[in-house]
Amino acid sequence: MEANARIYQDIKEILIRREEIANAVKMLGEMITKDYEGKAPVMVCILKGASVFYVDLLREIDLPVTMEFMIASSYGHGTSTSGNVRIIKDLDYDVSGRDVILVEDIVDSGVTLDFLKRMFKERGVNSVRVATLLDKPARRRVKLKADYYCFTVPDAFVVGYGLDYNQIYRNLPDICILKPEIYNK
Ligand code: IMP
Ligand code: MG
């Protein structure tokens, strides 16, 4: 808590601690290494939320992966999805014929990843899978299953380890639930 003591004042509770996150990320890295043996997947980081998870996960994968970054947005401000997905930054790389793994922070309604998966299929990839840190199945609006996930979370708004509320709290090392007064302001 020391280093981030000030922003921790807005936290109601820690949901998943950094040690637990590190263990789960390591296991996921090992699983992907096994599943993609002999392949060189393109790992696409969906910015900004997945950034912290992404750099940790990639260092647990023992494969010649390539790193790509994308910005997609289905949210304005607030805590629920608008339903539209906008690509703000696309890849600068042709992924046809490649094995793509989309790395996301959280699957909530599923709208973002459903859109992105279809977009990558249209680009002629060999395969496209989703690896997410968190899965929040209670709020799903489309039929989307993450191929890989570290944790299932309840229907609460979470921040930390890359996840934000109005762009803040991404640098918290643990996954936390905010005090309700923060987003009822
Ligand atoms: P979806 O399209 O509804 O699945 O939304 C996915 C995006 O919504 C994620 O990449 C997050 O940026 C954001 N999101 C959904 N739930 C949360 C949450 O609990 N905390 C922070 N961001 C969230
Ligand atoms: Mg996001």
pLDDT at 30: 98
In the chain, the domains with their CATH numbers are: 18-155 (3.40.50.2020)
| Mean of the per-residue pLDDT values of the chain | 92
Structure-block tokens of residue 56: 């940790």
Instruction: Point out the residues that are catalytic.
Output: 108
Interior/surface letters 15-47, b for 16+ CB within 10 angstroms, e for the rest? bbeeeebeebbeebbeebeeebeeeebbbbbbb
Ligand 1, pocket-test mutation among 70, 105, 134, 183, most atoms within 8 A of CB: 105
Measured in Å, residue 45 CA sits from the centre of ligand 2 at: 10
- Nearest CA residue ID for atom 20, ligand 1: 158
pLDDT at 4: 74
Nearest ligand (C-alpha, residue 113): 1
- Nearest CA residue ID for atom 9, ligand 1: 106
Euclidean distance between CA atoms 70 and 182, whole angstroms: 29
Prior bond of 39 cis (ω within 30°): no
pLDDT at 3: 66
Place of tokens 């936390």: 176
Q: Is the pLDDT of residue 146 over 60?
A: yes
The arrangement of strands across the sheet holding 127-135 comes to 86-89, 66-73, 42-47, 99-107, 127-135, 148-152
- Nearest CA residue ID for atom 12, ligand 1: 49
pLDDT digits (tens, 9 = 90+) for 2-58: 667 787 899 999 999 999 999 999 999 999 999 999 999 999 999 999 999 999 999
Measured in Å, residue 79 CA sits from the centre of ligand 2 at: 12
pLDDT digits (tens, 9 = 90+) for 63-73: 999 999 999 98
Measured in Å, residue 175 CA sits from the centre of ligand 1 at: 13
What percent of the chain lies above the pLDDT cut of 70?
94
Q: What is the DSSP secondary-structure string of 9-54? A: GGEEEEEE-HHHHHHHHHHHHHHHHHHTTT---EEEEEETTTHHHH
**Non-local CB neighbours of 78 within 8 Å, separated by 6+ positions:** 183
pLDDT digits (tens, 9 = 90+) for 81-130: 556 788 999 998 899 999 999 999 999 999 999 999 999 999 999 999 99
Euclidean distance between CA atoms 52 and 56, whole angstroms: 6
The atom number, within ligand 1, closest to the CA of 50 reads 10
